[in-house]
Amino acid sequence: MSELLKATPTETVVAVVEDLTQDWGLDLSAPVGPSTMLASDLQFASVDIIQLCVALEQIYGRRLGFQDLLMKDGSYVGDLALGQFAAFIDIKLASQGVTQ
């Protein structure tokens, strides 16, 4: 497993996002956390979201089916909080029989 794999999905998602954005020079009003929004707070573009998904799947060593989170009714969602990513991972891992 990666050094970015933390005790909880929330900690892992936050660690990966912090790693991905460390050189972006963002001026955030609050620390990165579960309520941080990918697009509105971090200026993530679609390619950044794909990079995040790939990184998380590599860390967990499995496909997590992020398309179920990123698309609703055939359209991409507008923005997601890091906590939504973490909750999605938690549900996927539990459905695959993985315990944290």
Provide the pLDDT for residue 29: 82
pLDDT level of residue 100 (50, 70, 90 thresholds): low
Query: Which tokens belong to 8?
Result: 């909880």
pLDDT level of residue 98 (50, 70, 90 thresholds): confident
Q: Do 85 and 33 contact (CB within 8 A), yes or no? A: no
Which of 40, 35, 85, 37 is CA-nearest to residue 64?
85
pTM: 0.89
30-60 burial, b at 16+ Cβ within 10 Å, e below that, comes to eebeeebbbeebbebeeebbeebbebbeebb
What's the mean pLDDT in 14-31? 90
Question: Which residue in this structure is represented by tokens 């955030």?
Answer: 28
66 against 28, higher pLDDT: 66
